[in-house]
Amino acid sequence: MSTEAPAAHAARVLVGPASMAVSANPDALLCTSPLGSCLGIAVYDPSIKVGGLLHTMLPASKVNPKRAAQRPGMFLDTGLSALLERVQNLHASAENLQFFVAGGAQVMDETSGFDIARSNCDSLAHLLEQLGFKIYAQCVGGRTNCSMELTLGTGEVRLRYCGQPTAKSLCKR
């Protein structure tokens, strides 16, 4: 389902690769840059309109613990932990959190033997299961880049695909 362009937001925050943002500002629009094989993970507490967005690149920090300490958002395990801590610092309740996931596209040659997109998706499913969370809505895979937007005032999550004039609603309230 397509939606019209969102109204102007007082606080538009771009979340680049290996980064995250959280907010309690109902006027905030959190947006990832194009995701590719990366995952965009939005978390939202609808009861108090607090949320965050993570643009993570790699599944496990064990490949470079020093880099993970410097940029936790680069790795799914450290990024997800930091994202949860930050939204809970804004008084989000773990019982109310909803998770939305996008990206994980196969944008490179799949004959290479290393499918980072699949590894990211599998790792996320495992981490959320361990933490007792479920994915509320997702759109992962395919061969096309997308970007992800979370509107904090409404909880709407939209996806924008390369070359498409309108956004697709992943979750509309």
pLDDT in tens, 33-78: 999 899 999 999 999 999 999 999 999 999 999 999 999 999 999 9
Fold classification of 2-171 (topology level): 60s Ribosomal Protein L30; Chain: A; (3.30.1330)
- Chain-centroid distance of CA 163 in Å reads 21
pLDDT digits over 72-122, tens only? 999 999 999 999 999 999 999 999 999 999 999 887 665 555 688 889 999
Q: What are the backbone angles phi and psi of residue 39, rounded to the nearest 5°? A: -110, 140
Cβ neighbours for 59, distance < 8 A, ≥ 6 positions apart: 75, 76, 77, 116, 119, 120, 122, 123, 124
How many residues does the structure list for the chain? 173
pLDDT at 3: 37
Residue 160 has φ and ψ, to the nearest 5°, of -115, 125
| Angle separating helix axes 76-89 and 116-131, nearest 10 degrees | 40
Can you give the pTM of this predicted structure? Answer: 0.90
Assign 100 to helix, strand or coil.
strand
